[in-house]
Amino acid sequence: MTINLQTLKCGECGSGVLERSGLNQYTCAHCGSVSIVEDDVSERLSRVLDQVKDEAARRLAAEQSARGRQVGKSMVIAAVAGVVLIIGVFVVTAFIVDRKEPFGAGRPVVASMAPRTIPIDGLKLDPPRQVLVGAGNSARPRLLVMARNETGTPLERPSVKAIFYDGENRIGERSESVPIGTLMPGESAPLLIDLPSEKTVTRQELQVASLSAPYRTVEGPRLQFTRVRLVQQEGEVRLVGRIVNARKDAVALTAVEVLVTLYDDAGAVIGFGRGFSQANEIKPSERSAAEVRIERFASRQVPIAAWDYRIDYNLSEGEQQGRTRVLSSNRVIRTAGAPEAFHPSLRLGSEDLLADEAERFDLAQIELLPLVPAHNITQRPVYLAEVVNRSSEAIALAPGAVISRYDGNRLDGTTAVAGPAYLYPGERFPVLLEPRDADRISATRVEWKPMRRAAMPGPRMPLQVRVEDTRAATSSVLVNFSRRYTYKYVDVSGTVTNPGQAIVRKSRLWVSLRDGEGKLAGFTLLDNLPAIAPGESVPFQAKVNQFGRDFASVETLYQSE
């Protein structure tokens, strides 16, 4: 609880009835919230509360004197007020019961008026250990503590303070809260406490802060992902999951919080992360995604053998009614196995990872065409290729891949490829592959990212691209002020017209050269086209370096959003 020192009101429920219940400790008489304040604040607050009490006593004496002079009138007023109060209580109670019934499927909302403090010895702490979080020069020393709730009562984000010593010298203290809003009875959760920087810590003392239960709660079913994936890209691990509000009433899910924990094959915690749903509020029949990035504090060589997650959430019928915390038993969902591994250069969005089977593009329908040997402007060997959509009915959404290049059996490096937002059936976009340490590419291996599909006619706004002129020319480049290379290029000019009824923004245009056999001879990407209003045209001009044989035709591919 926090106390507003200007209005002397409880920061939890807004009540102005505060009582001193211990050293530097104050309790709200309405909701039972407890606040611990600093010494100087405590003394000032006590003086102010004493003044408030004295003023209240003076006013009470004056009111009693006035009531003594009008006893008969006061009794009549009190009787009438009592009748009105009884009627009001029945009306308000009926309204509250009617409003809160959908929350817990008949289970009442609990808003306890009793003190919510709980004995701190009910939060058990395992022996702490020092760990390094991060990798390389960015690794930070931290203290790992496992906290277990044995109070028999749900806890509102319990907190632990660590006091650090170097021998007998006290060198600092840090506090950290459990990374989940509610720690249910029997649950354990890890927390990381920062160690004093550039100081030697020989021992530490752990202290549990005052414990309290959530104020406004209701029992309800556990919330779990309808689809979830744990993904690893080199040293980075993250969990993505889909949350669906399947309720049949008008109650929304709010403050959805996720805690993910990683374990090694011995059951020891080797990493955890906390995240939230992308939407602040999930209404009935709506869905949202959650993405949790996980900090590992074990060696990258220690494999992940199991992982679990739990979801904390609230219910809300609107801003006027506030939020109600849902208490769910057995909500920790554990999975045995390692995460799915993907190449670190792949850009994986939560939409692609969480797509249902019916939403996925069949990766057998996308293909990298055979490489075409060529030379760049400095006569270094390069290879031209194209990615083509072989499907006859499905559009590939934002195709992407990592192409591994090989010289014989030796890996020469990788090339990340990102295509247009929509690749329609039969369309192909160009790719340039450049050997790094070798003079040739004898083989390739393609790792496609998970892709979604769209049905025809698709979402892409139509454009009309017209090539009006092509002009072949030569130029030269001087390298290291010692050697000059001559190369061929083609100036391509034309117009892009918007035949639709809406403004087209963020359009991109690929311009490709083809030789007499239809093979790719060079390409360039124009991504600086302006917005195009309905019925208007904009000109374009592209300089396309010719890496392959002499061009015979020009082909274009556009993207619009």
Domain of residue 232, CATH code: 2.60.40.10
Compute CA distances 373 → 162, 376, 537, whole Å.
64, 10, 36
pLDDT on residue 91:
40
Quick one: tokens of 546? Answer: 């010719």
Amino acid at 472: A
Q: Are residues 86 and 124 in the same domain?
A: no
Q: Among 3-12, 78-87, 208-217, which range has the highest average pLDDT?
A: 208-217
Tell me if 251 is assigned to some domain: yes
What does pLDDT average to over the chain? 86
Does 174 score more than 90 pLDDT?
yes
What would the mean pLDDT of 15-24 be, rounded to a whole number?
65
Rounded CA separation 398/420 (Å): 6
Judging by DSSP bridges, how do beta strands 400-407 and 394-397 pair with one another? unpaired
Same domain? 131 vs 230: no
pLDDT at 263: 96
Concatenated DSSP letters of 219-235: E-PPP--SEEEEEEETT
- Same domain for 322 and 229: yes
pLDDT at 76: 44
| pLDDT higher than 80, residue 90 | no
Q: What is the pLDDT of residue 29?
A: 66
Residue 456 in any domain: the answer is no
So what's the pLDDT on residue 151?
95
CA dist 492 and 506 (Å) reads 21
Amino acid identity of residue 518, one-letter, is G
Lowest mean pLDDT among 19-33, 178-192, 461-475: 19-33
Q: For residues 449 and 403, is the Cβ–Cβ distance under 8 A?
A: no
- pLDDT tens string 45-63: 556 556 655 665 566 556 6
Assigned domain for 107 exists: no
Higher-confidence residue of 29 and 229: namely 229
Does residue 476 sit in the same domain as residue 502? yes
Position 458 in a domain: no
Kindly state whether residues 240 and 333 are assigned to the same domain. Answer: yes
Of 212, 230, 257, the domain-final residue: 212
Q: How many domains does the chain have?
A: 5
Residues 335 and 244 reside in one and the same domain: yes
Bridge partners (DSSP) of residue 479 are 483
Q: Is residue 454 part of a domain?
A: no
The verdict on 481 and 437 lying in the same domain is: no
**Domain check: are 336 and 224 in the same one?**
yes
Does 330 map to a domain?
A: yes
- Residue 250 in any domain: the answer is yes
When mean pLDDT is compared across 128-142, 202-216, 396-410, the lowest value belongs to: 128-142
Pair 76, 150 in one domain? no
- Cis peptide bond upstream of 141, omega within 30: no
Q: pLDDT digit string (tens) for 115-138?
A: 456 999 999 999 999 998 887 777
Lowest mean pLDDT across 29-43, 303-317, 368-382, 399-413: 29-43
Write out the two tokens for 99.
């409003």
- Indicate the angle between helix axes 39-69 and 71-100, nearest 10 degrees: 130
DSSP string, 386-443: EEEE--SSEEEES-EEEEEEEETTEEEEEEEEE--SEE-TT-EEEEEE--SSSS---E
DSSP state for residue 518 in the 8-state scheme:
S
> Is residue 102 reached through a cis peptide bond, with omega within 30 degrees of 0 on the bond before it?
no
Out of 293, 323, 341, pick the residue that ends a domain.
Answer: 341
What whole-number distance in Å separates Cα of residue 433 and Cα of residue 152? 62
| Shared-domain flag, residues 124 and 21 | no
Residue 10 has pLDDT above 80, yes or no: no
User: Mean per-residue pLDDT for 240-249?
Assistant: 94
Mean pLDDT of 68-91: 49
> Which of 373, 259, 248, 256 minimizes the C-alpha distance to 307?
259
pLDDT band at 70 (very low <50, low <70, confident <90, very high): low
Q: What is the DSSP letter of 121?
A: G
Q: What is the pLDDT of residue 39?
A: 46
Q: Are 433 and 376 in contact (CB under 8 A)?
A: no
Q: What is the CA angle 446-447-451, rounded to 5?
A: 120
What Å distances lie between residue 346 and 173, 232, 445, CA to CA? 42, 11, 14
CATH number at residue 121: 2.60.40
Please tell me the predicted confidence (pLDDT) of residue 7: 52
Choose the weakest-confidence range: 13-17, 246-250, 465-469.
13-17
Distance CA(522)–CA(543), nearest Å, equals 10
Per-residue confidence at 300, pLDDT binned at 50, 70, 90? Answer: confident
151 with 95, same domain: the answer is: no
For the question of whether the overall pTM of this predicted structure is more than 0.85, the answer is no
Domain hosting residue 72, numbered range: 3-100
Q: Give the span between the Cα atoms of 392 and 456, in whole angstroms.
A: 10
Start-to-end CA distance of the chain, whole Å, equals 49
Residue 86, pLDDT > 90, answer no
Residue 331 has pLDDT above 80, yes or no: yes
300 and 388 in a common domain? no
374-387 residue pLDDT tens: 999 999 999 999 99
Pick 9 or 228 by higher pLDDT: 228
Question: How confident is the model over 214-224, as a mean pLDDT?
Answer: 93
Q: How far is CA 393 from CA 16, 196, 358, 423, in A?
A: 67, 61, 14, 11
Which of 499, 478, 497, 496 has the alpha carbon at shortest distance from 487? 478
| Residue 459 located in a structural domain | no
Least confident of 33-42, 308-317, 393-402, 516-525: 33-42
Q: What's the pLDDT at 92?
A: 41
